[in-house]
Amino acid sequence: MSPLVPTAGPPGPPAASQPPFPRGFLWGAATSAYQIEGSPLADGAGASIWHRFAHSPGLVRGGETGDVACDHYRRFAEDVALMSRLGLNAYRFSISWSRVLPTGRGTVNERGLDFYRRLVDTLLAHGIRPLVTLFHWDLPAALDDRGGWLNPDLADWFAGYAETLFRALDDRVGMWTTLNEPWVVADGGYLHGVLAPGHRNLFEAPIASHQMLRAHAAAVAAYRAVGRHAIGLVVNLEPKHPATDRPEDLAAAVRADAYMNRQYLDPVFLGAYPAELREIFGAAWPDFPAAELEQIRQPIDFLGINYYTRGVTRHDPERPPLCAATVRQLRSAYTETGWEVYPRGLADVLLWVKSRYGGLPLYVTENGAAFYDPPTAEAGIDDPLRVGYLRRHLLAAADALAAGVDLRGYFAWSLLDNFEWSLGFDKRFGLVHVDYGTLARTPKASARFYSEVIASSGANLGRRTAAGGAPLEAPQDGLLDAVALQGDG
Ligand code: BGC
């Protein structure tokens, strides 16, 4: 097996005296191109839909854009040195499609590709493994002009772009992922219009999802022809718990789970969409060709899971098409983005994926929280809420590992404070503070805490179970149980 691919194998539960995470575990942080790079049109790059969206008045808070962002495009070497000082052995970043192919297809812009060659070489020189995301939402604007994710040709164009990257970098990159969070693109970009490309159309959302899955599969097929290492997909998962035991709330939670979680994983692993999607979308749910579903069901080498929160769900007929609403929990803490802090859910989703889709290697490819930090950092940044969030989620990850999940790595979201999409720079998720006036980077207390987690393989996390009880054995107290039990029957 290639030295670029983690060779730890299924880690198995560590003995009580050992630290909770095994040797060979990947400890990383994650970012995405448009959120940190800046210089979006430099060196011959084409515009992306996020460049266009952010420059359209009124769509991003405060009119903020990714024109400068963290200036990572010019400061990447400084940022890699910072990762090295923090002790990271892995880094997840995304490639801007329109830097490499300014119109999305056709002639390669070598200067754009060179940026990623230099970034990868710098990471490797510091002993940091790259995990490359091919698509983190910044579709080339020229392809949006051709219909974006509604156009069935996009699958082939995406595979062509992916193949360009595989040929350029697979000798140095051991881990690739195709799409980041297709649900967010379809829901935010095509159904509710709050993310690029800003459409609000019930009929478009299922088509966009399906074309993304076809593109994912086409890129995996291209990788099998030219790549030598590992490729996977990244989804964001949330346990959906019914707000009460009333049948309509239980049904709403099942629908929410089908819509957000199973809509993407069932086709990839089981070759079929969940039946609930027809109920949710009604006449807007098309009959997708069986041959396309067969193509979507391509074996992948690992799955990346982004986990932030759960959704306690109630029936709400005023909110079509899902007819469900998330209920605020009086006894829970919430982050600055209004997401409930629910660490146990991380263990639950990891265990659920294993039980429903089988025991493939899993990575937590994003986990983190926005909490208030001041705009400048002269006195350092003490962020105990973020430390607490990370600590409790890492304990939940350790629980899942101890319960037999083949968890191979964890990536904190995010390395740096960055452009939080339509919320602009207001919400700070970084382990490292960015002063947007000077672009100075200041590691927060959470970065120091995470360094200690890495150095001790989690021994500094304290007690071994997030719930304070026995290690978990199966998804508990929630809909994931019900869904797992219902299975495909
Ligand atoms: C996305 C990131 C985003 C983060 C926090 C994830 O959905 O992949 O790009 O910044 O969540 O909202």
- Ligand 1 pocket member 446 (CB < 6 A): no
pLDDT of residue 221: 98
One of 163, 238, 340, 366 is an active-site residue; which one? 366
What spacing in Å lies between the alpha carbon of 366 and ligand 1's midpoint?
Answer: 8
pLDDT for position 483: 31
pLDDT at residue number 9: 47
Instruction: Assess whether the C-beta atom of 418 lies below 6 angstroms from ligand 1.
Output: no
Strand order in the sheet with 311-315: 240-242, 311-315, 324-326
The residues that bridge with 434 in the sheet, in sequence order, are: 441
> Quick check: is 181 catalytic?
yes
Are 348 and 476 in contact, with CB atoms under 8 Å apart? yes
Cα-flanking dihedrals φ and ψ of residue 333, to 5°?
Answer: -85, 150
Nearest CA to ligand 1 atom 5: 420
> What's phi and psi for 179, nearest 5 deg?
-115, 145
Residue spans of the chain under pLDDT 70: 1-17, 463-489
Write a three-state SS string for the chain.
CCCCCCCCCCCCCCCCCCCCCCCCCEEEEECCHHHHCCCCCHHHCCCEHHHHHHCCCCCCHHHCCCCCCCCHHHHHHHHHHHHHHHCCCEEEEECCHHHHCCCCCCCCCHHHHHHHHHHHHHHHHCCCEEEEEEECCCCEHHHHCCCHHHCCCHHHHHHHHHHHHHHHHCCCCCEEEEEECHHHHHHHHHHCCCCCCCCCCCCHHHHHHHHHHHHHHHHHHHHHHHCCCEEEEEEECCCEEECCCCHHHHHHHHHHHHHHHHHHHHHHHHCCCCCHHHHHHHHHCCCCCHHHHHHHCCCCCEEEEECCCCEEEEECCCCCCCCEEECCCCCCCECCCCCECCCHHHHHHHHHHHHHHCCCCEEEEECCCCCCCCCCCCCCCCCHHHHHHHHHHHHHHHHHHHCCCCEEEEEEECCECCCCHHHCCCCCCCCEEECCCCCCEEECHHHHHHHHHHHHCCHHHCCCCCCCCCCCCCCCCCHHHHHHHHCCC
Between the CA of 416 and the centroid of ligand 1 the distance, in Å, is 12
Protein residue closest via CA to atom 3 of ligand 1:
420
> Which residue among the candidates 37, 64, 163, 181 is catalytic per the annotation?
181
**Is 366 a known active-site residue?**
yes
How many angstroms is it from 20 CA to the middle of ligand 1?
Answer: 27
pLDDT given at position 462: 87
Q: Are 435 and 374 in contact (CB under 8 A)?
A: no
CA of 177 to the centre of ligand 1 (A): 15
Residue 12 confidence (pLDDT) = 52
pLDDT digits (tens, 9 = 90+) for 325-382: 999 999 999 999 999 999 999 999 999 999 999 999 999 999 999 999 999 999 999 9
Can you give the pLDDT at residue 13?
Answer: 52
Check residue 489 and give its pLDDT: 20
**26-54 per-position pLDDT tens digit:** 999 999 999 999 999 999 999 999 999 99
At residue 214, the pLDDT reads: 99
Residue whose CA is closest, atom 9 of ligand 1? Answer: 32
Spacing, Cα 367 to ligand 1 middle (Å): 9
- Whether the CB of 138 sits within 6 Å of ligand 1: no
Residue 420: CB within 6 Å of ligand 1? yes
